[in-house]
Amino acid sequence: MHVACLDMEGVLVPEIWINVAEATGIDELRLTTRDISDYDELMGHRQRVMAERGLRLSTIKEVIADMGPMPGAVDFLDWLRGRWQLVILSDTFYDFADPLMAQMGRPTIFCHDLVVEGDRIVGYRLRLDDQKREAVRAFRRLNFTTLAAGDSYNDTRMLLEADYGALFRPPANVVAEFPQLPVAADYDALARLFEQAGARLEGR
């Protein structure tokens, strides 16, 4: 039995923090895991900026409410669910992800929790350090074969841990650093890669 493990932002939905930066005019929030590989460093930067600029959780949620899946994402998820089990492994937070999951048929998602005081984000609680790779590792220990796709630095350990991993629309710097990972430029290409990999895994 295969389990397909997908990142969320950059694979199924646009980058939340980039949309927040554009909606609020706070350019310092444009940085993502495509730019900074250390997640604690990235979140520390975001928390400092939010505190300095007085950005509230409710404002971020308003931005997210106007977002939706990327074109073709829902059809791709339906295609996947018709073949294998599906889990979203994301470094976002349930407060952010919930309205987006509702638009995609509520796939299972493993992500993190925010620490909120009043209407301000004051911290976060990781589900587990390196949770994407650890989730894939756990699925493999349960004798599932794993297919994975992501776009950023924080996905690469998951992709390398999986029985098959591919990058989806990654930036050039990630492609250059991980030339061993195949690259898909659209959902049709990713579906072909997954279908071919699934057939090989079943036949091994």
15 is in an annotated binding site: yes
7 is in an annotated binding site: yes
154 is in an annotated binding site: yes
132 is in an annotated binding site: yes
The whole-angstrom separation of Cα 203 and Cα 130 is 30
90 is in an annotated binding site: yes
22 is in an annotated binding site: no
37 is in an annotated binding site: no
Q: Which of 9, 155, 161, 163 is catalytic?
A: 9
Beta strands in 34-188 (DSSP E): 85-93, 108-117, 120-125, 145-150, 164-168, 183-184
Distances (CA, A) of 69 to 66, 106, 129, 187: 11, 12, 27, 13
The whole-angstrom separation of Cα 22 and Cα 29 is 9
- Catalytic site residue 7? yes
- Catalytic site residue 202? no
Q: Which of 7, 155, 161, 163 is catalytic?
A: 7
What burial class does residue 168 get, using C-beta atoms within 10 Å of its C-beta: 0-12 exposed, 13-18 middle, 19+ buried? buried
Binding-site annotation: residue ranges? 7, 9, 15, 46, 90-91, 132, 151, 154
| Residues assigned a catalytic role | 7, 9
Binding-site annotation: residue ranges for substrate? 15, 46, 90-91, 132, 154
Binding-site annotation: residue ranges for Mg(2+)? 7, 9, 151
